[in-house]
Amino acid sequence: MFSGHSGAGKSTLINAIEPSLKLKVGEISKQHKQGIHTTTFAEMFPLTIGGFIIDTPGIKGFGVVDFDLQEISHFFPEIFKTSAACKYNNCLHVNEPKCAVKKAVENGKIALSRYKNYLQIMEGDSENYRVDIYN
């Protein structure tokens, strides 16, 4: 099974092994310098040399693509609980004024490491995960 980031060349490699499959491959986005999720579902193919191969859609970080930003705090119980005291009920706890979460981080009631993880997921910054997965 091939898995990896969109645009890594999974489908291209499978086409090289089994050209008759003619799997669709995509351009790399000029703006984002990454793939454009050309493969949209996992599919298994038999190989002429024997065995099977599975092409999968590119992963992006660990699935943050489909997250509603508001929802991320639901997975951090202490952030979720504290957010009830934020001035704005749709506060994302990033730059908003009168944010109870930022305040709790400042006075040590919420661990800075937890808040940093929260921000990292908010920003879709998956660099750490890439390092973990591929090294």
Q: Which residues bind Mg ion (CB under 5 A)?
A: 10-11, 38-39
Among 1, 28, 112, 133, which residue interacts with ligand GTP (rule: CB under 6 A)?
28
Return the amino acid letter for 116: K
Does 38 bind ligand GTP (CB under 6 A)? Our answer is: yes
Interaction partner, residue 6 (Mg ion, ligand GTP, Zn ion, none; CB < 5-8 Å by kind): ligand GTP
Report the phi/psi class of residue 5: left, alpha or beta, with left for phi > 0 and alpha for psi in -120 to 50: beta
Per CB under 5 A, the segment of 49-57, 61-69, 85-93, 118-126 that binds Zn ion is: 85-93
Question: Look-up: residue for tokens 């998956």?
Answer: 126
Among 33, 58, 89, 110, which residue interacts with ligand GTP (rule: CB under 6 A)?
58
* Alpha-carbon gap, residue 49 to 33, rounded angstroms: 34
The three-state secondary structure class of 52 is: strand
Radius of gyration of the chain (CA): 20
Does 72 bind Zn ion (CB under 5 A)? Our answer is: no
DSSP state of 73: G
Number of residues that bind ligand GTP (CB under 6 A): 17
At closest approach, how far in Å is the CB of 92 from Zn ion?
7
Among 53, 57, 69, 120, which residue interacts with ligand GTP (rule: CB under 6 A)?
57
Distances (CA, A) of 5 to 2, 16, 39, 77, 134: 10, 19, 11, 30, 11
Residues in touch with ligand GTP (CB under 6 A): 6-12, 25-28, 35, 37-39, 57-58
Where does this chain bind Zn ion (CB under 5 A)?
86, 91, 93, 99, 101
